[in-house]
Structure 1
Amino acid sequence: MALADYYNRVNLDLLQQIPPAAQIILEVGCGAGAMAEAYRRINPAVHFLGIELNPEAAQAARGAGRLDRVITGDAAAVEPVALGLPALAAGPGVDCLIFGDVLEHMVDPWSVLARLAGWVREGGLVLACIPNVQHYSVIVNLLRGRWSYHDEGLLDRTHLRFFTLEGIHELFTRARLEVYDVQPRMWGDANAERFRQIMTPVLGPLGIDPARFAAQTQAVQYMVRAVRGPAPGATATSCRRLLLWSLLGSVIGSEVRIQEPHRFLATMPGVRVVTGTGLQFVDLGRTLPGEDRVFVEQRVVIPIGDHLQLQRVLLEQGYLIVAEFDDDPLHFSELVSSEFFALRSCHGVQTTTEPLAQVLREYNPNVQVFPNQLAILPPPRDFFDSDVEVDTGRGVSVSPATLFFGALNREADWAPFLLALNRVLAELKGLVRVLVVHDQALFQALETTDKAFEPLCSYDRYHSLLHMADLAWLPLEPTRFNRHKSDLKFLECAGHGVAVLASPTVYSGVIRHGETGLIYGSQEGFRDQLVRLIVDTTFRRRLATSAYREVAENRLLARHYRQREAWYRAMLGRLPELNRELMERAPELKPR
């Protein structure tokens, strides 16, 4: 009998709440291990354990190698030694305990939660997704005298216990866990508003707050985050809450530089993240009691009058102001004409590389380098999925190989090598095809019919195209602007198992030539190495595999994101001093 589909589902909302740097995770009701498989793309080094009542699902999880250990049985009876916990940590040591839609299936979820919470380390997290029996659809059916069970949903026939928001808080309180965040999961439903309108007249006489009732009856499920030990801001010794607000001046590049790191930081207890391309000043004051405030301006280069107003409001509200800048500042005329106000008027600047940091320190001494990292490791390439071997006379090649080029504003970088590239394409006709993203000029200049073009596309689409390639060309001429760029293109290629042929500018300090990629120093070197990558499939794949391993071991965001939080908190601790320095560096900010 085939395994039911829901054993292989991933609750993406729950996945995004799991700490990216967790060392030990225990999932109760792990199914066939889909959650573990998805999480390993974020943190391959995790030790992921599971408890699953269904023997077939547990066996599927074991067979796929998704979890390190799976115990088949009732969570109420499983002992930690069966999971190997004593061997993994001295005493209770689970970093994150997960209940994804399982507590409602238990005879005694109160005792199970309390018991397993004792396996969680101090400061560790407990995550749960729990159906809401107060949903309006259940109330409507009760008013009609109906309580009908179904194969799935709020009244799943296997549900034994039912919870409202109040009941959820009681459940976690009895387990001696501090709930610090409960988020509703809602589906779009026009009938919910109609129900609210019908019920509003009777709520007042019953002493029920209409707004609260509307929110609680629209929630299908609740996402619960709790901590073992004091919640953030609950005591003098617990970590203070942190609001991390970011204003995106450019959507391009914001995923890697801002959105992904901040999404990871939001998994930390007490860290609240707000991200957008615009803001209302009144919103800046809507903070929680005792909440520290950081405002990150990503490539915000706006008229100085508007920027001056923004900075003054932020200072009045007690924010630590940080500029995120990842290009040579001399390249931006508005920045130059303002005497680099966007850099001077912040408490600190964060950037991608040390060479760029040295430039930025000319305008602000408080510069911190956060190199680019990959948030998610793509699955390993199945190189042999559609191989067709061809004897090229120089060895056996898998034909044709796909050469990828995808970048903005690179014409001056590829133009010197166009003649050599076209000669290789002619010489190896039938062995290579070219995929170009965005650069119409390069696409038209390629003297081959075996080519494809993709206009400027979404970041997800870009990654999908890159994953289909075999090798990529990363040209950067030795200009001032290029020397201050980052190695992100190499990381993206390496993550997708794509072998790289790159210029020495930027990449010679990152790529180990002949091991994780190839570096060319001349047109002749470019030609010879491109030919080798096309015709020598074994060599090309060895480079790609080594680069993939390098990223998996050293360049995943899960290993580095907490450095940002540490720097922000250290800077917040110096805020009075930094404010004094700021007024000296940017006297325009002084009150008039």
Structure 2
Amino acid sequence: MDRTQKVNLDLLKLIPADANIILEFGCGTGETGAEYKRINPNCLYVGIDQNADQAKIAEQKFDMVIATDLDSLDLSTTEITDGTVDCIIFNDIFPQVINPWDILQQSVNWLKPDGQVLANIPNTQHWHRIVKLLRGKWEPEENQTIAGKSPLPLRFFTLESIKQLFTQAGLYLYEIQTKGQSTAEFEKFQQIMAPALQGLGISAATFATQTKATQYIVRASKSPEAPRRLLIQTILMAPTACDRVRVLEPDRLSATIPGVRTISSVKSADLNVPLAGEEKVFIWQRTIMSYPDYLPKLRHLLQKGYLIVAEIDDDPLRRPEYAQNRFLSYRGCHCVQTSTELLADYLRQHNPHVAVFQNQLAYLPAPRTYSKDTVTIFFGALNREADWQPIMPALNRVLAQHSPQVKVKVLHDQQFFEALAIPNKEFEPFCAYERYQEILHTCDIALLPLNFNRVNSMKSDLKFIECAGHGVAVLASPTVYENSIIEGKTGFIFRSPEEFELKLEKLIKNPEMRQYLASNAYEWVAKNRLLSQHYRQRFDWYCEMRDRLPELNQELRVRVPELFID
């Protein structure tokens, strides 16, 4: 099979984000594994593929690659120890081997007691294939050959034979997803087949499900224990501010936990989405709940059996509406999640159940290569004039001394851009996060000024984490950042305009120092501040709060008794 350089997103989104050891059968050139290594670079990722040329390419991306014929592979001769693997992936290889049953049964020995198996398997019962058979045609699927070999003796799988394959291997299936689209032609096919189905006693609904699927995405476990089923449903009330780091990326990794389903929507929510057996969590992201207008909404969630969570990552006192509405946004929920300990300390006066989930990087960017000719300084912020004004004279003095060697890239802040007394500068207005990442990845030094005040002190260190991930040396205020930056090792802290000027001068003149700070910060983030290292904290806390729901309901009744008035 000629595997193109394409990430298998169906499998990628299911791989446990904190796995220590992963094994991928059919790794091809390693695109799926390489993308996963951005999420969890500290794991041991092992690839196995029959195509030696493609395996050689994968070697550049993986920790270990085995190029061998899968049917003749003796798993006992590999360097992998039984009972150590977190996840085994079968990337579209079962139809290409003579004995998939033996390969699956042998590989199960590698799994930890709670290890998982993921597989994508083409569906022989897809309606296109049925139509071909009815017309007397049957061609092998495209690309189901291995370079240098004759076409493989294919194995064909339906939903029932997939279940048998995994059950015989001693695995417990807990989820089979279907991939396929319901087109007008598909609906016409179902109508044509309806009389025959009725005559054969076959359920039309079951037949439709099994013939629509082009592929099945299988999740199985070595453990017979059924996973705890949890629905995490979020309403986004400030989607452009912080939805990615506070909701979307945590949801993406939480969904890799067996039994967890995540849903988010902007400014509205469908309370009919829970499935039978799911424990329900409802999160209000940055919501200003007006009193008493929101009481019926909260009451409805209580009647539906939800755990109600408030999500906030900014000082509530910035908005007088919170106080004007009796802080219902926090008092009216079972619990609150936030981004910093200082915020948590304040919020506990409104609700005693507050958890801190720090902002983290969901993906580790590629290591940097640096320009030897130009030093590029980055500044990106909104409404930060009071923070940068004290350092602007010093900044302009340094820039004047080093122009034209120095370039400044400014994001969002037009006033900062105009205040720069240097011709070599670029401005980018408010842009997509991906564009922000592109710009940051081209810079050498980032300026993070933040005056000390109540609002600033409650902010997170996300800007430093992002700069560190992109190999950018940081010159930052002590407010917020001195708790994260190791002075002289992962960045520089300045406590006055004079110190700012001296340290910026040093960073511009000394490329070795810049890269030393950036390299250390990059390594620190990779080891400590990736979301893959922390995402289970949310799941554990939601489960704990769900377990305490009767107690939390009683406390809520005392805090906001009007919620419980019929």
Amino acid in the other structure paired with 1:584: V
After superposing the two structures, state which structure 1 stretch, 241-250 or 417-426, moved more: 417-426
Contact 1:24 1:94 in 2 (8 A): yes
Pairing partner for 1:52 from 43, 49, 52? 49
User: Which of 387, 400, 404 is the aligned partner of 1:426?
Assistant: 400
Distance (whole Å) between structure 1 residues aligned to residue 289 and residue 191 of structure 2? 45
Q: Which range moved further: 77-86 or 326-335?
A: 77-86
2:490 aligns to what? 516
Moved more, 161-170 or 537-546: 161-170
- CA 1:497–1:189 in structure 2 vs 1: closer, same or farther (change >3 Å)? farther
Name the structure 1 match of 2:230.
242
- Over 3 Å counting, the alpha-carbon distance change for 1:415 and 1:192 in structure 2 is farther
How big is the shift at 1:165? Answer: 2.3
2:73 maps to amino acid: V
The one-letter amino acid paired with 2:11 is L
Say if 1:447 and 1:151 are closer, same or farther in 2 by CA, change over 3 A: same
Match of 1:225 in 2: 219
| SS of the residue 1:283 aligns to | coil
| Residues 1:194 and 1:493: Cα distance change in structure 2 (over 3 Å) | farther
| Map of 1:551 onto structure 2 | 525
What is the aligned counterpart of 1:72 among 67, 70, 75? Answer: 67
User: Are the aligned partners of 1:7 and 1:57 in contact in 2 as well (CA < 8 Å)?
Assistant: no
Offset at residue 101 of structure 1 (A): 0.6
AA in 1 matched with 2:309: V
Cα displacement (A) at 1:43: 1.4
Matched, 1:27 2:16: no
Stretches of structure 1 that go unaligned for 5 or more consecutive residues are 233-238, 388-397
Could you tell me the percent identity over the aligned residues?
A: 48
Residue matched to 2:565:
591
Distance 1:441 1:189 in 2: 52
Cα distance between partner residues in 2 of 1:18 and 1:165: 22
C-alpha distance in 2 between matches for 1:515 and 1:208: 68
* Partner SS state of residue 272, structure 2: helix
Q: Deviations over 1:525-566 (max 9, x none)?
A: 112222222222111111110100000111111111112211
Per the alignment, residue 394 of structure 1 pairs with none
Q: Secondary structure at the match of 2:70?
A: coil
TM-aligned CA deviation for residue 491 of structure 1 = 0.4
Q: For structure 1, which segment, 145-154 or 7-16, has the greater mean C-alpha deviation from structure 2 after superposition?
A: 145-154
- 8 A contact 2:145–2:151 mirrored in 1: no
Determine which of 560, 575, 580 is the counterpart of 2:554.
580
Aligned to 2:331: 344
Report runs of 4+ in structure 1 exceeding 6 Å deviation: 153-156
Counterparts of 2:196 and 2:332, CA distance in 1: 55
Superimposed CA distance per residue, residues 376-418 of structure 1 (whole angstroms, 9 cap, x where no aligned partner): 11111123xxx3xxxxxxxxxx332111122222222122222
CA-to-partner distance for each residue in 1:498-547, whole Å, 9 max, x for gaps?
11111111111111111111111111111222222222211111111010
SS in structure 1 of the partner of residue 313 of structure 2: coil
Matched to 1:573, the amino acid is D
Give the one of 151, 158, 164 matched to 1:164. 158
Distance 1:590 1:147 in 2: 64
Report Cα offsets for 1:448-483 as digits up to 9, x if no partner: 222222221122221122112111111111111001
Alignment match of 2:286 (pick from 299, 303, 308): 299
Structure 2 Cα separation of the partners of residues 130 and 561 of structure 1: 29
- Out of 236, 258, 261, the position equivalent to 1:272 is 261
Deviation, 1:330, is 0.6
Which residues in structure 2 correspond to 1:140-155 (within 5 Å)?
140-149=131-140, 151-152=142-143
Query: What secondary structure is seen at the aligned counterpart in 2 of 1:146?
Result: coil
**Correspondence 1:40 to 2:40:** no
The structure 2 residue matched to 1:471, chosen from 445, 448, 458, is: 445
8 Å CA contact 1:494–1:544 kept in 2: the answer is yes
1:184 aligns with 2:178: yes
Aligned-pair CA distance for 1:79: 3.7
Q: Which residue of 2 aligns with 1:358?
A: 345
- Alignment correspondent of 1:322: 309
Q: What CA distance in whole angstroms lies between the structure 2 residues aligned with 1:49 and 1:107? A: 22
Deviation at 1:5, TM superposition (A): 6.2
Instruction: Please say if 1:132 is aligned against 2:114.
Output: no
Q: CA deviation at 1:154?
A: 12
Which region of structure 1 is more displaced relative to structure 2, 540-549 or 345-354?
345-354
Aligned equivalents of 1:415, 1:201: Cα separation in 2: 78
Shift of 1:149: 3.1
Q: Deviations over 1:95-134 (max 9, x none)?
A: 1010011111111212221221232122211000111222
Please give the alpha-carbon distance, in whole angstroms, between the structure 1 residues aligned to 2:383 and 2:460.
15
Q: CA deviation at 1:147?
A: 1.5
Separation of aligned partners in 2, 1:13 and 1:19: 13
Q: Which moved more, 1:213-222 or 1:534-543?
A: 213-222
Q: CA contact under 8 A between 1:490 and 1:500: conserved in structure 2? A: yes
Q: Which amino acid aligns with 1:271?
A: V
Partner of 2:246: 257
Cα distance in 1, alignment partners of residues 191 and 427 from structure 2: 53
* Structure 2: gaps of 5 or more residues: none
Partner Cα distance (2:385, 2:368) in 1: 30
Question: 1:382 and 1:80 mapped to 2: Cα distance?
Answer: 40
Please tell me whether the aligned partners of residues 129 and 222 of structure 1 are also in contact (alpha carbons under 8 angstroms).
yes
Q: Deviations over 1:265-304 (max 9, x none)?
A: 11111112122124455415x3322x32222221122433
Of the candidates 15, 18, 31, which is equivalent to residue 18 of structure 1?
15
Correspondence for 2:106 among 115, 121, 125? 115
Letter in 2 for 1:360: L
Deviates more, 1:511-520 or 1:522-531: 522-531
1:56 CA displacement: 2.1
Deviations 1:205-247 (A, max 9, x none): 4444444444433322221111112252xxxxxx432121112
Q: What one-letter code is carried by the residue in structure 2 that aligns with 1:250? A: A
Contact 2:97 2:152 in 1 (8 A): no
- Whole-Å separation in 1 of the counterparts to 2:490 and 2:142: 51
Question: Is 2:86 the partner of 1:99?
Answer: no
Report the CA distance between 1:316 and its aligned residue: 1.1
* TM-score using structure 1 length: 0.89
TM-score, normalised with respect to structure 2: 0.93
Counterpart CA distance in 2 for 1:20 and 1:297 is 25
Contact 2:83–2:111 under 8 Å retained in 1: yes
Is 2:369 the partner of 1:382? Answer: yes
Of residues 403, 412, 415 in structure 2, which corresponds to 1:438?
412
CA RMSD of aligned residues (A): 2.3
Once the two structures are TM-superposed, the CA of residue 20 in structure 1 deviates from its matched residue by 0.9
1:41, 1:378 within 8 Å by CA — same for their partners in 2? yes
The answer for the alignment partner of 2:375 in structure 1 is 401
- Structure 2 match to 1:367: 354
The SS at the match of 2:379 is strand
SS at match of 2:66: strand
For the 8 Å contact 1:231–1:269, the answer to whether it is kept is no
User: Is the 1:131–1:154 Cα contact (8 Å) retained in structure 2?
Assistant: no
Q: Secondary structure at the match of 2:552?
A: helix
2:77 paired residue among 40, 59, 82: 82
Question: What letter corresponds to residue 18 of structure 2 in structure 1?
Answer: A
Q: Answer yes or no: is the 8 Å Cα contact 2:476–2:494 preserved in 1.
A: yes
SS where residue 116 of structure 1 aligns? helix
- Alignment length (residue pairs): 562
**Aligned AA (1:166):** E
Per-residue CA deviation, residues 330-380 of structure 1 (Å, 9 max, x unaligned), is 112221211211111111111111111111111111111111111111111
**SS state of the match for residue 23, structure 2?**
strand
Contact 2:166 2:172 in 1 (8 A): yes
